[in-house]
A = this chain, B = another copy of it.
Amino acid sequence: MAAVTFEILKKQKGSRARAGVIHTPHGDIETPAFVAVGTKATVKGITVDTLKDLGVQTLIANTYHLHLQPGSELVKEMGGLHSFMNWDGPLLTDSGGFQVFSLGAGFGKTVSKVTREELDADEKVASVYDPDVASQHGKLAQIDDEGVSFTSHIDGSLHRFTPERSVEIQHELGADIFFAFDECTAAEASEAYQREAMERTHRWAERSLKAHRQNIDAGKRQGIFGIVQGGRFESLRRESARALAEMDFDGYGIGGSYQKFDLDTAVGWVTEELPEDKPRHLLGIGEPGDLIKGVQQGVDLFDCVQPTRLARTGMVYGPGGEKLMLTNAAYVHDHEPIDATCSCATCTHYSRAYLAHLFKAREMLGAILATIHNLHYLLTVVRDERKKILA
């Protein structure tokens, strides 16, 4: 019996949407589900109790960040990521591929779009790739068919990830679900480069799977998802999905850099090719409208830093999903909550005026209360989609 299994409860007529349950060693995930981002083994500013109050089912932590600090050996020594961060529910780790190519490549390069400030903000950042394929990964993240050598964005130290090493690190972290190491390309990359990178990703997927299956113990505790690449090219996306579908993964990630591709097309190409009976995770996409489109295309899991990162700047989802900037002068005297129809703890107890005060005063509680609201908002969007499918 695999550590991670998937059960479809109901399919929606007229779309690819489905409601299901992912069974993991740390409990079930009712899908479609929004996965809260806990990059460095914490959802920024939010306690585990609050996550549970919000109905967060599962978190995704980051292999690249945790490898650099505190190190997966330490996490293993502390009893694994669940125990380390006091999260007893289902837990995911991503492969670190995206960060190796974006943050790793960006260290010390003044031409990079990755500023020190963004790195401190520290989660996934917008792609820093030069669309010129030849120099795409820069000199500080050197790729070869075996793996990638890269420099830490923290101290410039040298590191190397291979598919086998990424699996080893993720075994040490011990999440219920982890991802095969992939090469994350820029959306603007040429078809020729996308093909080259995709084929490498497929070879890495096979090596990741093999490394995972060789560790019988880890196999009992952890499921592995392969990541579909292929950029914006239909032929590549379909080819990638078919290639991965033939490998014995427990589920699939749909990857790519974060220049938004058309959710009505690219995601659909992929889900049409992937096996129906395996869960699908659309990596790093989290605008409310995108979640709804993704569900329609048959996506089961979403994660995105957007709701929590926006919240920390004072930007929240207002009535009808319209974004409000709480530091706007309009809210200084505003008695209303962020959204009078919202049932979250923030909207139940606090006015926009109080939140505006907290952000102006640079009080941590502002970011905390805004994060609670934004997480609640996205969790509700996805829960509502699930209800519609089950209805």
Contacts and interface: CB of A to CB of B under 8 A. Distances in A.
A86 B347 CA distance: 11
A58 to B, nearest CB: 18
B70 A357 contact: yes
A196 to B, nearest CB: 35
Given A65-B361, A86-B354, 8 more contacts: A40-B357, A40-B361, A44-B363, A45-B364, A69-B361, A74-B333, A78-B353, A84-B354
A70 B40 contact: no
Given A74-B332, A74-B333, A333-B77, A46 B365 contact: yes
B333 A42 contact: no
A353 B46 contact: no
A353 B42 contact: no
Q: What is the copy number of this chain in the assembly?
A: 2
Contacts of A354: 41, 78, 84-86
Contacts of A44: 363-365
B351 A78 contact: yes
Interface in A84-112: 84-86
Contacts of A365: 42, 44-47
A69 B364 contact: no
Contacts of A361: 40, 65, 69, 122
Contact of A349 (B78, B86, B353, B360): B86
Interface in A324-372: 332-333, 335, 345, 349-351, 353-354, 356-358, 360-365, 367-369
Interface string A34-74: 00000011101111111000000000000001000110001
Closest 4 CB pairs of A and B: A45-B364, A86-B349, A42-B365, A70-B357
Given A354-B85, A362-B120, A47 B368 contact: yes
Contact of A70 (B49, B332, B350): B332
By CB atoms of chain B within 10 A, which of A70, A77, A353, A358 has the most?
Answer: A70
Contacts of A120: 362
A64 to B, nearest CB: 13
Given A41-B354, A358-B42, A364-B367, A48 B332 contact: no
Given A86-B350, A351-B78, A70 B364 contact: no
A350 to B, nearest CB: 6
A360 B45 contact: no
B363 A74 contact: no
Contacts of A362: 120
A355 to B, nearest CB: 11
Interface string A132-164: 000000000000000000000000000000000
Contacts of A358: 40, 42
